[in-house]
Amino acid sequence: MALSIFGASALAPVPASGADGIEINHLGINNTLVRVGDGGRYLMLPVQESNDDARINILVDGKIAETIYVRLAKSKTDYYVPFDLTPYKGKNIVLDVVTPQGRSSIREAKEDVCWRGFELTDTPDMTDRETKFRPAFHHTPMYGWMNDPNGMFYKDGVWHLYYQFNPYGSKWQNMTWGHSTSTDLVNWKHEPVAIRPDGLGSIFSGSSVVDHNNTAGFGKDAIIALYTSAGTSQMQSLASSTDNGQTFTPYPSNPIITLETEARDPNMFWNEKTGEWNLVLAHALEREMLFFTSPDLKTWTLQSSFGKGEGEQSGVWECPDLFPLKVDGTGETKWVLICNINPGGPFGGSAVQYFIGDWDGKTFTADKDATGKIPTKWLDYGKDNYALVSWSDAPEGRRTAIGWMSNWQYAAEVPTMQYRSANTLPREIGLFRAADGEIYVSNAPSPEVLALRNRLVADKSNISLGNIAKSFTLPEANGGLYEIIAEIDAAGCDSLKMVLSNKADNKVILTYNAAERKMYFDRTKSGIVDFSESFPVVTASPTFEDNGKITVRMFIDRSSIEMFGNDGRFVMTNLVFPEMPYSSLALSSFGGKAKVKNLKIYSLSTK
C-alpha cells in the first residue's frame, strides 16, 4: 500500500496499540517508547506544524544512533514524513520520544493522534500536493524544508546543488545537506541526503571543491566539503567523497577549525596565484569575515579579517563567497566579497550584500567611493534572494550562482506545506561600471534558461504608451509559467507602469520613475499576503542608467517573479501567491509618452 505523506491516512482507523509492526509504550506524561518491527523500509512520522518539536532518540540495539526533532501530531496530522530504516535493517529499533506539551495525566498524553499515526511502508506516496504554488522550473525539495544553497560544485557535466534541508518537516530543524543534480540547471533530480548530523551537531552551510591535485589525501578529484557543525557551539568540519558527491565521509579528526566565538558557513577555493587554498568564514555576531589559508584543506591558518563596522551592520553576517571577475568591457579584474546578512536587508529581513575590492591571498581590501567610504551594495533589490553563493569549478570560467528564494522573516509561514522554499533561477554573475563611477555586480539568468521557452505567444513592436493602459494576454496554462521581455524607451515620460493581474484582482505593479531612475515592485495586492506582516511590501531598485532605456526580462513561475533589468544590472526577486495565475499584462505611461520598442511573451516549460 502506498501511504500518503499528506494527511489522508490520518483518518484510517488503527489499533490503539499502534499500526502493524509498531508497539507503543507510554512511560509517563511526556515520554513514550515506540518499538518498530518489520513491515516496511520507511517509518512514516505524523506531523502537526503548529505543535512544538518532540525530541526523538532513535535507539538501535540500545544505542542512540540519531536524534531528530519532529513536530509530532497532537490533535491532527497535517502530513507525514518518511524516516528511512534501511541503515538499521535487522536490528532492534526503538524510538525514545519526549513530547513537548505540558500534561496533567498520562491519559491525556495517550490521546495524541501521533501514536496511532506511526506506520510502516515500502512506498511512501510522494505525489506533489502543491501544484498551485510549487514552481515548475525552479529547484524545490520534494518535501520538507529548505534554506541556503551550499556546497555546490560542477564536475563531468553535472551541476551538484546541496542545500540546508530538514527531511522531517517543512520548518527549519534537523539540518542536513540535501542534494540535487542537473545537467542543464533547470531540470533537477533529487538525490539522497548527502551529509547527516553526527555527534558534533547538525550540518550547517559550507562549500565543496574538487581536489584535483589530491592535496587533502583523499584521492585525486575527491570532493571535499567543509561545513559548520552546529552543536552547542559552532565549529568547522570536513567530509570527503570519492563517488562524485553522492556520499560523504566525515573526517575522523573533526572539527578542523574551532574559535571561541560563533563562526559559520566556510567557503573555500583554490588560489592559483599563491598555490594554496583560501577560505572565508562568517564571524557572524562580530559582523565580519575571517580569512584563512591552507595547503591541504585540513590545517587552516587565520590570516586576516574584513568588515567590522563596514557595510550593513544591523544583522548577522553569514554565507560568504569570494571570487575574481573582469569588469565588463575592460581587462580589469576585481574581487567580489559576498556577505549575506540577516536581518538588515534593504526591505527588511535577509539580503545579499557585497563589497568590491582586491584580494592578495591573505587580505581583502575594499574599494572606497568618491567620498572615501566603503559603500554598501546589494545584489538583488527584491525581498526573496538570500544566501546566494556560487558553484566551484563551473565550466568555461563561468561564475554561476544561485540563491534561496525566500526571506527569514516569513519563510516558515508561506502558504505551502508539503515543501517550503525554492531556489532562485541560476544566475551568471558579472561586474559593470555604472554612470556614478562605481563598480557593481550584475546577475543575469544563466543561458540554460533559454531552453525553457515553449511558445512565443506575443511579439509586438513599437507600442506607444499613454495614460490609457494597453493590455496583453498572459499564458495561464500550467499555473502561469512565462517570460516577458519588454524593451522600453521611457525617456519621454515621468513614469511607466507594468501591471500583472488576474480575475481575482490580484495585482503586481512595476513602476519606473524616470526622475529617480528607480524601478518599484509592489506586491501588496499580489494575492495571498496576510500570512506575515513583512510580506506585503513595495521594493525599489536603482536602474543604473541615465537615458530611460530599459530592457526588462521577467520570469514568472507560479509563485515567484524574477525581474532582470538591463541584462541583470538591476534585479528584483519577489515571491507572490496569486489566487489564480496572472492572466493580463497592462502597460501605461504618465507625464508623457513612452515607447515599448518590442514586447515578447513566451510560455515556458521544463522538459
Residues marked as catalytic? 148
Angstrom distances, CA of residue 326 to CA of 269, 434, 447: 18, 14, 19
| DSSP letter, residue 52 | P
Query: In a 3-state reduction of DSSP, which class is residue 486?
Result: strand
Told to check if 412 binds ligand FRU by CB under 6 A, we report no
Least spacing, CB of residue 265 vs ligand FRU, in Å: 5
User: Which CB sits closer to ligand FRU, 413 or 579?
Assistant: 413
Q: Three-state SS string across 458-476, please? A: EEEEEEEECCCCEEEECCC
Cell of 9: 491516512
Q: From the list 119, 318, 380, 562, which residue makes contact with ligand FRU (rule: CB under 6 A)?
A: 318
Phi, psi (5° rounding) for residue 98? -115, 115
Query: In the window 441-500, what residues touch ligand FRU (CB under 6 A)?
Result: none
Told to check if 517 binds ligand FRU by CB under 6 A, we report no
Least spacing, CB of residue 538 vs ligand FRU, in Å: 24
Number of residues that bind ligand FRU (CB under 6 A): 12
Q: Which helix (H) or strand (E) holds 98?
A: strand 93-98
User: Which CB sits closer to ligand FRU, 145 or 521?
Assistant: 145
Distance (Å, whole) CA 404 – CA 402:
7
Count CB-CB contacts under 10 A for residue 302: 13
Least spacing, CB of residue 412 vs ligand FRU, in Å: 12
Site string for ligand FRU, 371-410 (x = CB under 6 A): ----------------x-----------------------
Least spacing, CB of residue 310 vs ligand FRU, in Å: 19
Count CB-CB contacts under 10 A for residue 311: 21
Cell of 313: 551592520
Distance (Å, whole) CA 164 – CA 321:
17
Cell 579579517 sits on residue: 305
Least spacing, CB of residue 19 vs ligand FRU, in Å: 33
Q: From the list 130, 211, 265, 380, which residue makes contact with ligand FRU (rule: CB under 6 A)?
A: 265
User: Which CB sits closer to ligand FRU, 162 or 570?
Assistant: 162
Question: b/e map of 411-447 (b: 16 or more CB within 10 Å)?
Answer: bbebebbbbbbbbbbbbbbbbbbbeeeebbbbbbbbe
Least spacing, CB of residue 146 vs ligand FRU, in Å: 10
User: Which CB sits closer to ligand FRU, 70 or 599?
Assistant: 70
User: Which CB sits closer to ligand FRU, 216 or 319?
Assistant: 319
Site string for ligand FRU, 163-182 (x = CB under 6 A): -x----------x-------
Cell of 252: 575522523
| DSSP letter, residue 350 | -
User: Which CB sits closer to ligand FRU, 19 or 175?
Assistant: 175
Spatial contact of 511 and 605, defined as CB atoms under 8 Å apart: no
Distance (Å, whole) CA 36 – CA 119:
9
Q: From the list 95, 226, 319, 510, which residue makes contact with ligand FRU (rule: CB under 6 A)?
A: 319
Least spacing, CB of residue 340 vs ligand FRU, in Å: 7
Count CB-CB contacts under 10 A for residue 131: 11
User: Which CB sits closer to ligand FRU, 339 or 519?
Assistant: 339
Site string for ligand FRU, 67-106 (x = CB under 6 A): ----------------------------------------
Cell of 397: 570560467
Residue nearest to ligand FRU (CB): 204
User: Which CB sits closer to ligand FRU, 281 or 498?
Assistant: 281
Distance (Å, whole) CA 418 – CA 394:
32
Cell of 157: 557535466
Site string for ligand FRU, 134-163 (x = CB under 6 A): -------------xx---------------
User: Which CB sits closer to ligand FRU, 66 or 545?
Assistant: 66
Query: In a 3-state reduction of DSSP, which class is residue 512?
Result: strand
Distance (Å, whole) CA 473 – CA 580:
14
| DSSP letter, residue 2 | P
User: Which CB sits closer to ligand FRU, 205 or 442?
Assistant: 205
Distance (Å, whole) CA 202 – CA 188:
25
Told to check if 264 binds ligand FRU by CB under 6 A, we report yes
Query: In a 3-state reduction of DSSP, which class is residue 529?
Result: coil
Count CB-CB contacts under 10 A for residue 191: 16
Distance (Å, whole) CA 55 – CA 71:
9
Query: In the window 187-206, what residues touch ligand FRU (CB under 6 A)?
Result: 204-205
Q: How many secondary structure helices (H) and strands (E) does the chain include?
A: 3, 44
Site string for ligand FRU, 219-248 (x = CB under 6 A): ---------x--------------------
User: Which CB sits closer to ligand FRU, 147 or 241?
Assistant: 147
Least spacing, CB of residue 70 vs ligand FRU, in Å: 17
Count CB-CB contacts under 10 A for residue 347: 20
CA dihedral 276, 442, 520, 140 (to 10 degrees): -60
Distance (Å, whole) CA 284 – CA 289:
8
Is 387 exposed, middle or buried (CB count within 10 Å of its CB: 0-12, 13-18, 19+)?
Answer: buried
Query: In a 3-state reduction of DSSP, which class is residue 362?
Result: coil
User: Which CB sits closer to ligand FRU, 148 or 489?
Assistant: 148
Positions touching ligand FRU (CB under 6 A) are 147-148, 164, 175, 204-205, 228, 264-265, 318-319, 387
